[in-house]
Amino acid sequence: MKKSCLSFLLLLFSCFSVLADERLDSLLNVLDATIKEADAYVQIKENRLRELKKEARKTPPVSIERYNLNDRIYSEYRAYSSDSALHYLNENKLLARQLNDGERELKIQLELSYLLSSIGMYMEAADILGAIDRPSLPQSLLGFYYTCYEHVYAEAGAAQPRYKMFSSRYFKLSRAYRDSMQVTLEPSSDTYLWLRETQLKEAGKYDEALKFSDRRLSESPFGTPQYALVAYQRFRLFESMGKKDEHLYYLVLSAISDVRSAIKEQSSLMVLAQELHGKGDLKRAYAYINFSWEISQFYKTRLRSWMNITPLSMINGNYQDIIRKQNKELLIYIVCVALLALLLVIALIYIYRQMKALSVAKKGLQEVNERLFSLNEELEEVNRHLRSTNLDLSESNLIKEAYIARFFKLCSVYVDRLQAYRKLVNKKLQRGQVAELLKMTHLSNDIVTVEVQELYANFDSAFLHLFPNFVESLNQLLLPEEQIVLKPDELLNTELRIFALIRLGIKDSSQIAELLHYSVNTIYNYRSRVKTKARVSREDFEDLVAKIR
């Protein structure tokens, strides 16, 4: 898990072979995602603290084991919650006295002084250091002693940016204690490496200072408070070197490590917010400064809250100006959208009315079409009726023509016969052959029968000339076993002649009887007998006969 920071950075920068701004934006996206997951990292720390406290309760109240576990709990709380960190330092201070361990009690005093100066309680920190008898300090704590003094004055100087007289005095005292630190600290310790880096940076020897920074970075695992501190100091080093394309990367990396290690006492995000504010990225600046403010409130240190107030107020003011401007633009857009919506509603109402009118017109047109369709059907029916009527008229005309010709021919024949008969009678009278005349005109003479048969023959011939399929068509209206079968020398028989006259439109039995020289009862009986043989209803039979073609 403990990768060197240098190798991490090399891997990070090798992944981005694009412009510097694009690489920075990618890293800022990582920070954004990390901030969104901040609660998860806090939960990890809380779980770790819970386990340490659970383990501490299992140890004897006054023991080195309890002291060491309290020290680990304090280390977790040191940059997480100042109140809890102070609580466990005071508990260990009491525990060291109970154990009669003077060196541990002195170490706790120094830790307490360092923590108090970190949270802005400079006088309290200085009082603690002043109460310590320096000559009585063990050699192992001497370097830490001078480090605490340097830290008190450095923090006090940084807290007085507006009052140069006080801040310069504090920074001067801070630098004086650095000389003592250099003599007493272990050369391999991180504090000593930071001291040398700081001294070389202030002397303008940036390349040499960068070597110490590289070493510290390589020894600090990413995502730890130590890495966050080293990355922040490296940001300041590159800032002093004027490398604007690189220094912000380390500030972002420091902020990411702060969030991942759940540090509440941090300055990276606040400084980053101010940097981004200067670059015009107000949205991120506003988000970062608010997040920094929230965690400083959790840490419960007046120093961080006070330091955050000014940039928070400035960034928040500028961001609110942008919000107001955007709200004003949004209001304009809303008005425009409302006007467009109103126009759209008007257009929709107009379209609806047009569609409604169109629907009414369409409905009317549909009714007209239906009426036209109905009229067309009626017209077709009329046309069919006219065609049928024309056909019937044509057929009637044809029948009339045929029968007129037959009538004239018969009349001519009968005129000739009458003339011949008249001549014969006249001749018989001239000759005095009265007896023969009486014989010729006697009722028993077959002349009438012959004439009637000749009449039938002429009628049959004329009718079948007009309706050659009449016999077959009429038989189709009869049951198979009741169909009419003609004798070999017959064209029509009496039954067929009756229905032939019906086909010609003569339906009155008395007329039919007169034409065929039968009685009315005989004609009625013939008609009834044939209709009883029909395969269709008696009522429809004669109508169907009248339609035979």
Per-residue pLDDT tens over the stretch 446-456: 566 777 888 88
- Report the alpha-carbon distance of residue 349 to residue 352 in Å, rounded: 5
Of the two residues 219 and 159, the one the predictor is more confident about is: 219
**What pLDDT sits at residue 111?**
94
- CA 370-375-381 angle, 5° bins: 130
Residue 147 belongs to a domain:
no
Q: Where do we find the tokens 């600046």?
A: 285
Q: Give the lowest-confidence range in 65-69, 162-166, 200-204, 488-492.
A: 162-166
**What pLDDT sits at residue 507?**
87
Residue 265 belongs to a domain:
no
At residue 410, does pLDDT exceed 70?
A: no
Residue 516 belongs to a domain:
yes
Looking at the structure of the chain, the number of domains it has is: 1
- Report the alpha-carbon distance of residue 471 to residue 469 in Å, rounded: 6
Burial 416-441 (b: 16+ CB within 10 A, else e): eeeeeeeeeeeebeeeeeeeeeeeee
At residue 6, does pLDDT exceed 90?
A: no
At residue 289, does pLDDT exceed 70?
A: yes
Residue 501 belongs to a domain:
yes
Read off the tokens for 163. 């009052």
Residue 56 belongs to a domain:
no
Look at residues 205, 212, 195, 107 and name the one whose alpha carbon lies nearest to residue 151. 195
Residue 505 belongs to a domain:
yes
Give this prediction's pTM.
0.55
- Paired residues of 478 in beta bridges: 534
Look at residues 193, 213, 104, 88 and name the one whose alpha carbon lies nearest to residue 147. 193
Residue 38 belongs to a domain:
no
Of the two residues 192 and 247, the one the predictor is more confident about is: 192
Give the CB-side neighbour count of residue 266, counting CA atoms within 13 A: 38
Instruction: Indicate the angle between helix axes 509-516 and 494-503, nearest 10 degrees.
Output: 130
Q: Where do we find the tokens 């009869």?
A: 478
Residue 536 belongs to a domain:
yes
At residue 245, does pLDDT exceed 90?
A: no
| Range(s) of the domain holding residue 468 | 444-546
Q: Do residues 127 and 117 make contact, with C-beta atoms less than 8 angstroms apart?
A: no
Q: Where do we find the tokens 């020894």?
A: 219
Residue 209 CB contacts under 8 Å (≥ 6 apart), including other chains: 196, 197, 198, 200, 201, 237
